Structures are given as structure tokens and as C-alpha cells.
Amino acid sequence: TTGAIAIKEYPEAVAVMLFYEIGELLQEAAAGRSRRSIKSLMDVRPEFANRLESDGTITVVDPQLIMPEDTIVIRPGERIPLDGIVKEGLSFVDTAALTGESMPRRVEPGSTVLGGFVNQTGLLTVEVTADYNDSTVARILRLMEEAEERKAPTERFISRFARVYTPAVVIMAAMLALVPPLLFHASWRIWSYRALLFLVASCPCALVISVPLGFFAGLGAAARNGILIKGASFLEALNDIRTVALDKTGTLTEGVFSVNLLAPQPGTSAEELLRLAASAEQHSLHPIAESLRKAYGKPITEDVSDLSETAGEGVTCRIGGDEVAVGNLRLMSRLGVDVSDTTDDAAATVVYVARNGQYVGHIVISDRLRSDASTAIEDLRQLGIKRLVMLTGDRISVATSIGERLGIDIVRAELLPHEKVAQLDQLKADTDGGVLFAGDGLNDAPVLARADIGVAMGGLGAEAALEAADVVLMSDEPSRLAQAISIARRTRVVVWQNIIVAFAVKVTVLLLGGLGMASLWEAVFADVGVALLAIINSSRIMMRPFV
């Protein structure tokens, strides 16, 4: 503006100042809105909690004052402030803010609810299981704040480029203003004008802002679909995935086991068999252990000591005066327990029980495929994923049966956690591209951390998932994997469109300006106009549905 005034181009001086101010305001507003769009999707901070006091009265308090085991009341239409378990009441809750699911979820006594869900129909009484700082809402908000710090390689490149580009164009503009008049006696006014035009058009602001805008929009689109991506670097890395490895339990299957058959040996009753198994597994967090306790259905009063749980095998302990082992064939083989006369069931999981080194029976437990498991596999293939692999600790017969039903290329079963890591390393060595691993986050933290992209399935309530994974699917739908990759690819296209358009417009205006065929109006468009085009283009990511 000062330069334009100096050469008496007053209308253009005013235009440059006016449009630059407007452009800066729009750019700041767009950048702020892009950041806020991500936070607003996850910003489900509770404003209050209705604490039920011991005398039956209800006190409205700050959620941060609520402690575990406190009881809170949630009325219809209120947001659930903290994680907990429903003690009384029947209702439907809206989980869209966290999971992206449009259908309300039915909850009843015993159901787990998370802070951020919205109670829709009935009055709920909930026992709190975690204070605010350890709640799902607080953890997710922390992760979203950290995500903004993890920039994609493309963003870092543009930032480095701008640090070199800016002084270079300033020097070139100065040379354009000085060299022709000094060496060739050209008009100072004409070449000063062209230098000003060059300086305005070459401003890197539009280029610098257009790239993060695209990534912010991609992260926001993912969050809107119930996919928490921990930063633009992971969003960009999803583009390079060529192999997808999947855990079975809790990922391809529901992870909700049910006891189908009790097969005690002579001298042991079915109730005794189930009692031993449930007692031994009373402290385990594994879904199979939960199914055994649920099937037993009675308070466990046994005196259990010397408890030892081995990942991928099972549990050993002492119940009363007996040594009890509950687990798979690997555990029985290690302990020297003969179970050779049992019947193999390829479609189910078998839990063996031994007492004092003697086999006393087995329990057949089954799990169901997730409703969208087949769709997830088909969608991944349509996206060009070259290999689909199952890595599971379950039996070979069970894993192979499920793998054949879904059309999975490679099945690796009966794996301990460290063996999953070794298998993943082998996949990475054999793959021309990145390897993604998706697991339930409970026992897969080492594999999630080792993969190029680790995805925790339904990890809202799992601390291990939120810490170890790069991406967290906030619902239990494996079909979200394809959505995440699709969003990443669309984001890359938009980001490069922004870069190419910015460079093309700027180079064109710079050439025309150097030849005296452009004015400051075109130069302003080369910066402010290009920024507006980038804003509009980036917003398409948020508006587009992803399947």
C-alpha cells in the first residue's frame, strides 16, 4: 500500500489495503472454524452433574467434584456427565457425539454409559466408575488437542519451503525494482509498480494456510464419522496403507461370548465344572472370562490364591486345596494335562479345565461375527488394499473358519502377543507400502504401537487403546476402517489441489506482472482469492459423505 501511494496509484493502494484486511479476516476465521469444527464434534464437556446424596436429595455440582462410586441422576434430555454403570432406569441414549452412530442405543441396569452420551427418554440412575480427569470425555479432548501438534509431512515441507521462499521473493522484487532502471535507464515508476505487483502476488500466506486447512477438514470429517485420528501425520500415512491386519475377537467378531456347552468328565458335575472355571477367571478382564462368570451367575465365594494369568494361554490358581488350570490347549500342554479324548469344534472356542493335573472337562464358547464384517472386507478390497491378514490368539480351526467366511487372504492363529508383533514385522518386511493393524486395544498394545498405523476398535473405554493407537474407531464397526482410508485419500487430493492451484495462479500472475500485463488487482487475487478458493475446496471434505 505504501509503495502504491508513493507511485501515486491511490485506488490500487486502497484496494490492496482493503482486500488484504478482508482476506486476513476470512483466513483467520476459516482457520479458527476448521480447528473449532474438530473440537466441537468432540467437545462434550459436561456442565453439571446431579449427585444423589445419601439422604435422597439431589445436588447440582461441578462434574469435577464427582468421585468414583458416587451416584448421579440423568434426566431425559440431559448429557451424561461421566462414565458409569446404570443402576436404575431404562432409556435410549444418543451416542452420536462420540461414536458417529445415528441410531440411539438402549440402556438398562448393568449397561455401561460414557460421558458425552445424551439421555433421551427415561430417568437414569448411574454409579460413576471414573472421575472427570480419567473419563472418556477428558481423554478424548486431550487427544484432540495433541492431534493439532502432529503435523503431516506435507505441512512441514510447506512451512520449510515458505521460510526459504519468502526472503527469496523479497530479493527478487527488489532486483525487479532496481536493476532495469539502473542498468537500462527504464522508468522507475513502471518497474516499481511491477516490483510491488510481484511482491503482492508472491505472498506465501495463501499457500501456507491452504495446506493445514485441508488437513483440519479431513480430521473433522473423520471425527464426524466416529473416527479419532491423532494428528495430520497419521491422516496422511493412511494413504500409504497396502496391507491390513486384523485381530479376530472384538474386531471381526462381537467379542461377546456365550457358553454353548458344558462337557464335564465322569465324576465332575456340569455345575462344578463351571464353578471352577468362573472362580479361576474371576479377576480376568478377557471377554471369555466374563462369559464364564455370566454363565455361572452366582456370587463367587471361593478362596482363590496363587493366581497367575498368562496371555494367550489362560489362568492357573489354587482354589481351596486344589490346583486349578483354566485355558486353552497350549496351557494344558505346558502343564502336561492330557485332553486328547475331547471333541474338536472348529466353529467355537474351547476352554479346558484341569484340577490337580487331571482333566475334568471343557466348556464350548462361541462368538458372533459383527454385522458389518463382510462389508468391511469388501470395502477395503475396493480401496485397493492388497493383503488382508488375520492375527489372533484363538485356535487355528476357529480362525480358519472365520477367515474363509470373510475371504481373508492370510490367517495366523494361536499367537501370543509377542508372536503377533513378530508376524507384523514380517508383514512390514514383505509389503510395498504401509501396514495397518486393527485390534480391540485390550491385549494388542504392542502390535498397535509397532504397526505403521495402529487402529483401536471401539476403544472409547480402553485406556490401552487410546494410548497405543494412532487411530481410534469410537464405535465397534470394522467398516469404519475403509471410511478412514477413504477420508485420508480425499484429504490428500484436496491438499494437493490447493497447492497446485496456489502455485499455478501465483506463477501466472507473476509472469504477467513482469511483462506489464497485470495489475495489483490480479496480484491481490493471487493471494486473497487463492486463499478463499482453498477454503471453499477444503470445506468439501466436511460436506462429502464417506462410505
Q: In a 3-state reduction of DSSP, which class is residue 236? A: helix
Q: In a 3-state reduction of DSSP, which class is residue 262? A: strand
- Angstrom distance (rounded) from CA 303 to CA 360: 20
Which residues, at least 6 apart from 440, have a Cβ–Cβ distance to it below 8 Å? 247, 249, 250, 251, 255, 456, 457, 458, 459, 462, 465
Q: Where are the beta strands (DSSP E) in 230-374?
A: 241-246, 258-264, 304-310, 314-319, 322-327, 349-355, 358-366
- Angstrom distance (rounded) from CA 441 to CA 454: 9
User: Contact 472/215 with Cβ under 8 angstroms?
Assistant: no
Smallest Cα–Cα separation from 172: which of 200, 139, 148, 132?
200
How many other CB atoms are there within 10 angstroms of residue 245's CB atom? 26
How many other CB atoms are there within 10 angstroms of residue 547's CB atom? 10
Which residues, at least 6 apart from 117, have a Cβ–Cβ distance to it below 8 Å? 79, 80, 93, 94, 95, 97, 98, 105
Which residues, at least 6 apart from 536, have a Cβ–Cβ distance to it below 8 Å? none
- Angstrom distance (rounded) from CA 345 to CA 502: 62
Query: Catalytic site residue 372?
Result: no
Give Cα separations from 493 to 142, 382, 467 (angstroms): 29, 18, 29
Angle (nearest 5°) at CA 32 between 31 and 33? 90
- Angstrom distance (rounded) from CA 525 to CA 504: 12
Q: In a 3-state reduction of DSSP, which class is residue 471? A: strand
User: Contact 389/410 with Cβ under 8 angstroms?
Assistant: yes
How many other CB atoms are there within 10 angstroms of residue 488's CB atom? 27
Q: Which of 94, 247, 394, 470 is an active site residue?
A: 247
Q: Which helix (H) or strand (E) holds 473?
A: strand 471-473
Phi-psi sector, 414: left (phi>0), alpha (psi -120 to 50), beta: left
Smallest Cα–Cα separation from 7: which of 176, 180, 195?
195
Q: What is the phi/psi pair of residue 46, to 5°?
A: -75, 140
Q: In a 3-state reduction of DSSP, which class is residue 452? A: coil
Retrieve residue 459's grid coordinates.
Answer: 476403544
Q: In a 3-state reduction of DSSP, which class is residue 115? A: strand
User: Contact 376/481 with Cβ under 8 angstroms?
Assistant: yes
Task: Give the catalytic positions in this structure.
Answer: 247
